[in-house]
Amino acid sequence: MPTEHSWTELVRGVADLRALLAFRASGLTDRVRVRLRIAGGVVLALTVAAIVVPAYLKGPLQARHASQFVAVLPSLYLGFFALAVLAAIASGGGREVVPREQAVAFPVSSVTEHFGALLLAPLNIAWLIQAWSVLGLTMYVVGPHDVAAAAAPLLLWIAFSTAAGQAVGWVFEGIRRGAHGILLARLIAGSTIALVVVLIATDRFVPLLDRSPTVRIYLAAAYGTGNQWWLWARPVAVMVVMVVVATVIGLVPARWALHRALREELRLESGRIEPRPNPRSDLRALVRVDRASIWRAVPLRRGLLVLAFMPGLVAVAGSLHWDMITILPGLVASGGALLFGVNTWCLDGRGALWRDSLPVSASVAYYAKVIVLFEVLLAAAGLTILLAALRAGPPSTAELTSALAAALVVATQVVAAAMRWSVERPYATDMRSARATPAPPVVMAGYSARLALRTTVVGLVFSATAVAPDGRWAVLVAVPLLCWSGWRLVRTEALWAVPEVRARVIAVVAS
Amino acid sequence: MESVERRERVRVRALWVRFGSVEAVRGIDVSAYAGRATALLGRNGAGKSTTMRVLAGVVPPTDGDVQVDGVDVRVDPLTVKRSVGYCPDVGGLVPRATPWEHLQLAARLRRMEGWETRAQDLLERFELGDAAHRVTGGFSHGMGRRLSVVLAAFHRPGVLLLDEPFDGVDPLGVEATQQVIDDAKARGAAVLISTHLRDLAMTSCEDALVLRGGSAVAALDSAELVGEAGARAYRALLD
């Protein structure tokens, strides 16, 4: 008897998810378990801090800027929802608890896939930072009176956005997998972007945001601190229902999407690729194969396109000034590295063994990967700056130098970190599916946090140089940072040149 | 003077390979001669693939002496890689590159000129001509194995290392592989074949080395492992 969409299937799906998580956990060493517990504790502590600390800062800071924050809070809530939708779409519906090629022998249902993707959605530094922003800014505005009641609607909104975003992500993935799905998906994405551009160009974007219904979330939080329990309870109850409905309703598009063929992947694998002229150097030959491995992988291609355009469009929508534009290259470079760079040899997949048997120096093979990663990150960061510049107006010399130096420095910094991680902690991953990641989700969360922290700090430093009288300050800051990253790259190359290290990396990624 | 046929092209003495606390290969000796094929036989985990990887220059030996055409693999791995053609046991193909791009890369790094005709000929012989410009990620297991053999034999190496070349390959692919092995022997190459398919190995090989638990337990003439009697002898060596 078919049990799909039944209570039995739901219970079984949750039980299967527990089994998959246990399977994942079984491969962890004691040291990794300890580190994971610490990381989980830090995230929990930061979340509690994001709720409590700003609330108690309101008094000492005499509610400075509170009225300005109130004005942006509805847009911030909406922004979180947009982020959840975009993250789910970009990851092909959502991340996998166990990679497809490892789970292929097991009957993993779409229920398990859906709940697994929901569980993994917060393992993303962009999600965490946005969630902490939502909590922190609102709590600062509403103050310390009954913190738990004020935080409840915010936490429910975060849960609802994630669940609804996931459902939209599955719908988009289902459309993409259909006949003419890629064309349709591009039309939807293009139309949405065009709509936002038109709204911005006609100065209707901000008024529209001001009318956002998400203002009710702020009101619910405020009622919680104002002892207006009935006014607080009603929206909270509605939001509880919304969370449950969004979670359960997501099962329908999840099942629909996951039962459709991977059309884009199959098209790439069955299509003819015109041969190109013979490469004129060893390095070019290796770089060419690596470039092909990026642009012919669905998750990498899609991720890079999102990274190249979305931050730039957000900058245009937010009308960012040049001193803030310097932060964008860091976000883009971090995102780009997270697509494949943190486990660069995964581009070779099982071909790594054959590739390493070819007569070419380890150094040339290493720098081929460095070049490919660096050019991808720099191109995406450059495009972001270009888009942001459309609305930021003509820059001063210091602003332009700072933005370009920031792009160059963070790209080098991220490449150095990513190459180090690639050599020290390789993973066997098949980057075929749009849902694939180059490392396990928990590891990815750790990488994204570290990259975001480092590149944001660098971006802020260049924000400061952007307001300097001329561009020399940016250059003065950039040179030592570039030297540091260059030295790190050379050190990793020395590590890669050790045959035992190389053999371990190759054996892992090719397994 | 030593005859051409008995020239030792592969010389492995007291090879040890350790991965942490695991000893994958424990002091084995292997010799492979010009114009002859040697089968490496044994159960899973016997050390066959690790030995092949050492000879291909992919895994460094922990201890022992490994020479290919008189060149120490530890001292000059690049020269060894130029002499060797290697078909790995798993995958062996870059998933999003086409067969032609694999050949292009190999030709460039091996300094081959005018390689296109041979590449085309090999692809046709292995019935991969129609798939030459498709990414290998969409290949069946057998197609992947066949292409790996093509890539190993492409530059006419002095030492041909084939790790499980017959695994999942159809009869026509097996014939083409055996043809490649015969061609290699005819031009004086030493061939090492690691496989679980004893009967197939015996049709192409003159010598056999049986490994167990990382050690060599017998070096035999392939005739001793043919047929029912050979199967019994082989079975006895595995326990």
- DSSP state string for A4-47: TTSHHHHHHHHHHHHHHHHHHHHT--HHHHHHHHHHHHHHHHHH
Q: What is the largest CA-CA distance in chain A?
A: 75
| CB within 8 Å of A263: residues ≥ 6 apart | A176, A177, A178, A179, A181, A182
Task: Say whether both A104 and A222 belong to one domain.
Answer: yes
Q: Does A283 touch chain B (CB under 8 A)?
A: no
Show which of A271, A296, A321 is a domain's final residue.
A271
What is the structure's pLDDT at B177? 95
The letter for the amino acid at B176 is A
What's the pLDDT tens digit per position in A102-134? Answer: 777 778 889 999 999 999 999 888 889 889 999
Whether B12 contacts B31, CB under 8 Å: yes
pLDDT category at B3 given cuts 50, 70, 90 is very low
Interface contact A349-B88, CB threshold 8 A: no
Distances (CA, A) of A16 to A3, A23, A28, A33: 15, 10, 19, 22
Residues of B in contact with A285 (CB under 8 A): 104-105, 108-109
Residue B232: how many other CB atoms lie within 10 Å: 11
Whether B176 contacts B108, CB under 8 Å: no
Cα–Cα distance for residue pair A276/A295, rounded to 1 Å: 15
What's the pLDDT tens digit per position in B65-116? Answer: 999 999 999 999 999 999 999 999 877 899 999 999 999 999 999 999 999 9
Whether A426 contacts A509, CB under 8 Å: yes
Q: Does A12 touch chain B (CB under 8 A)?
A: no
What ipTM was predicted for this assembly?
A: 0.93
What's the pLDDT tens digit per position in A278-334? Answer: 999 999 999 999 999 999 988 888 888 888 888 887 787 777 888 888 989 998 999
Q: Give the mutation candidate from A29, A283, A354 for the B interface (greatest B CB count, under 10 A).
A: A354
On the CB side of B157, how many CA atoms lie within 13 Å of its CA?
36
pLDDT category at A205 given cuts 50, 70, 90 is confident
* pLDDT over threshold 50, residue A469: yes
Angle, helices A181-201 vs A263-270, to 10°: value is 120
What's the pLDDT tens digit per position in A182-200? Answer: 899 889 988 988 898 888 8
Distances (CA, A) of A94 to A24, A90, A321, A412, A429: 17, 8, 33, 29, 16
Task: Say whether both A244 and A298 belong to one domain.
Answer: no
Residues of B in contact with A286 (CB under 8 A): 105
Residue at A31 is within a domain: no
Task: Say whether both A151 and A97 belong to one domain.
Answer: yes
pLDDT category at B2 given cuts 50, 70, 90 is very low
- Lateral strand order in the sheet of B37-42: B84-87, B159-163, B190-194, B37-42, B207-212, B215-221
Task: Say whether both A289 and A216 belong to one domain.
Answer: no
Q: Which residue has the tokens 């296109």?
A: B116
A365 to chain B: closest CA residue: B109
Average pLDDT, chain A: 89
| Across B179-191, average pLDDT | 95
Interface contact B90-A506, CB threshold 8 A: no
Cα–Cα distance for residue pair A329/A192, rounded to 1 Å: 24
Cα–Cα distance for residue pair A494/A491, rounded to 1 Å: 5
Burial class (CB in 10 A: 0-12, 13-18, 19+), A204: exposed
Distances (CA, A) of B211 to B26, B31, B42, B162, B196: 10, 14, 5, 16, 12
Cα–Cα distance for residue pair A396/A481, rounded to 1 Å: 23
Show which of A271, A293, A314 is a domain's final residue.
A271
Interface contact A351-B59, CB threshold 8 A: no
- Lateral strand order in the sheet of B63-68: B22-33, B8-19, B63-68, B71-72
Q: Give the closest of A285, A292, A511 to B90, CB-based.
A: A511
**Cα pseudo-dihedral A260, A127, A242, A318, rounded to 10:** -100
Task: Say whether both A378 and A430 belong to one domain.
Answer: yes
| CB within 8 Å of A106: residues ≥ 6 apart | none
Read off φ and ψ for residue A470, nearest 5 degrees: -145, 180
Q: Does A86 touch chain B (CB under 8 A)?
A: no
Q: Does B61 touch chain A (CB under 8 A)?
A: no
Task: Say whether both A139 and A119 belong to one domain.
Answer: yes
A364 to chain B: closest CA residue: B109
Tokens (6 digits) for B57: 């220059």
Q: Which residue has the tokens 């990513």?
A: A418
| CB within 8 Å of B62: residues ≥ 6 apart | B16, B17, B18
Interface contact A293-B96, CB threshold 8 A: yes
Task: Say whether both A238 and A306 belong to one domain.
Answer: no
What's the pLDDT tens digit per position in A17-69? Answer: 998 888 888 877 888 889 889 988 999 999 999 999 999 987 777 777 777 78
What's the pLDDT tens digit per position in A419-438? Answer: 999 999 999 888 877 788 89
Task: Say whether both A242 and A311 belong to one domain.
Answer: no
Q: Range of A259's domain? A: 50-271
On the CB side of B40, how many CA atoms lie within 13 Å of its CA?
32
Whether A350 contacts B92, CB under 8 Å: yes
Within A211-344, residue ranges assigned H as helices are 215-225, 229-249, 251-258, 263-270, 282-295, 298-318, 322-325, 328-339
Q: Give the closest of B81, B96, B136 to A357, CB-based.
A: B81
Q: Which residue has the tokens 């030492």?
A: B159
pLDDT category at A4 given cuts 50, 70, 90 is low
The residue that leads in pLDDT, A309 or B38, is B38
Cα–Cα distance for residue pair B212/B89, rounded to 1 Å: 18
* pLDDT over threshold 60, residue A252: yes
Read off φ and ψ for residue A393, nearest 5 degrees: 85, 175
Residue contacts between A and B (CB atoms, under 8 Å): 133
B132 to chain A: closest CA residue: A272
Interface contact A359-B59, CB threshold 8 A: no
Number of domains chain A is built from: 2
| Across B123-127, average pLDDT | 95
Name beta bridge partners: A17.
none
What is the structure's pLDDT at A3? 53
Chain A neighbours among B 98-137 (CB < 8 Å)?
Answer: 98, 100-102, 104-110, 133-137
B63-68/B71-72 β-pairing: antiparallel
Tokens (6 digits) for A469: 């009288």
Whether B212 contacts B237, CB under 8 Å: yes
Task: Say whether both A295 and A157 belong to one domain.
Answer: no
Whole-prediction pTM value? 0.86
Residue at A331 is within a domain: yes
Long-range Cβ contacts of A278-283 (<8 Å, 24+ apart): A278/B104, A278/B107, A278/B108, A279/B104, A279/B105, A279/B108, A282/A360, A282/A364, A282/B108, A282/B109, A283/A364, A283/A367, A283/A368, A283/A371
Q: Does B148 touch chain A (CB under 8 A)?
A: yes
CATH code at B4-238: 3.40.50.300
Task: Say whether both A256 and A295 belong to one domain.
Answer: no
* pLDDT over threshold 90, residue B5: no
B116 to chain A: closest CA residue: A278
Show which of A250, A271, A292 is a domain's final residue.
A271
Residue at A7 is within a domain: no
Interface contact A357-B58, CB threshold 8 A: yes
Task: Say whether both A234 and A283 belong to one domain.
Answer: no
A300 to chain B: closest CA residue: B96
Task: Say whether both A315 and A415 belong to one domain.
Answer: yes
What is the structure's pLDDT at A5? 60
